[in-house]
Amino acid sequence: MRAVWLCFLFFLLITAAFGAIQNFASPILQALYGLSITTAATALSAYLLGGAGGILLGGFLAKKNDQESLITLALGIAAGFAIILAAGILPGWSILPLMSAIGFCTGIAGPSRDLLVRRAATARFGQAAFGRVYGFVSGLDLGLAMAPVIFGQLMDGGRFSHVLIGIAVLQTLAIFTALRVGKSSLRLANRAPSSSANQWNSIR
């Protein structure tokens, strides 16, 4: 049960960070770096394309590496890049590749995230319950809905760099949550299995 809620929190954190970038990256880059609307929108596109590339590579890496370590490395680098971006000291030409790198690192963590949730779900409830548990823990809609609420006030107050720092904080918290999920999954896997159906019914 604890692992399931940790998975839910993990999804919530990373999707809230994504929602903040998706909604506010363009005006933030215009304010901090004086980019035109077109260039700022292109930077957001670079982030999304980088994310797609990261997911593609992440699918191969997730099968060959420890998922928690891969998530920690990828999201840690993405959070570091977000803080560098928040400093407002970079030359304008570097914004597009840096946004692409943030998206790429975030994307790499995606497949490992899914495998981590699968491991936690099957360790607790058995193979047959993965789909139901995944649907339960997926805080995608809630995370995306929370991002404007959390960061909208900072945007209204002109604290644009604080939004980027907040994104880095969310990604860092997601790392610690992923590590906790991994530990919980390992502990559950070492226990004697009980009735998967009864365990699943206990959280509905």
The CATH H-level superfamily of 2-189 is MFS general substrate transporter like domains (1.20.1250.20)
Of the candidates 169, 15, 13, 18, the residue with the CA atom closest to the CA atom of residue 103: 18
Alpha carbon distance 54, 108 (integer Å)? 4
Of the candidates 108, 106, 116, the residue with the CA atom closest to the CA atom of residue 138: 116
**pLDDT tens series, the chain, 204 aa:** 676 777 788 888 988 999 999 999 999 999 999 999 999 999 999 999 999 999 999 988 988 778 888 999 999 999 999 999 999 899 989 999 999 999 999 999 988 877 877 776 666 656 655 566 666 655 567 778 888 888 999 999 999 999 999 999 999 999 998 888 777 666 655 664 444 444 445 545
Q: Could you state, in order of their start, the residue ranges of all structural domains in the chain? A: 2-189
- Spatial contact of 81 and 102, defined as CB atoms under 8 Å apart: yes
Alpha carbon distance 47, 180 (integer Å)? 28
What is the reported pLDDT for 192?
Answer: 41
Q: For the CA atoms of the chain, what is the radius of gyration?
A: 18
Q: What are phi and psi of 41, to 5 degrees?
A: -65, -35
pTM over 0.75: yes
- Spatial contact of 112 and 179, defined as CB atoms under 8 Å apart: no
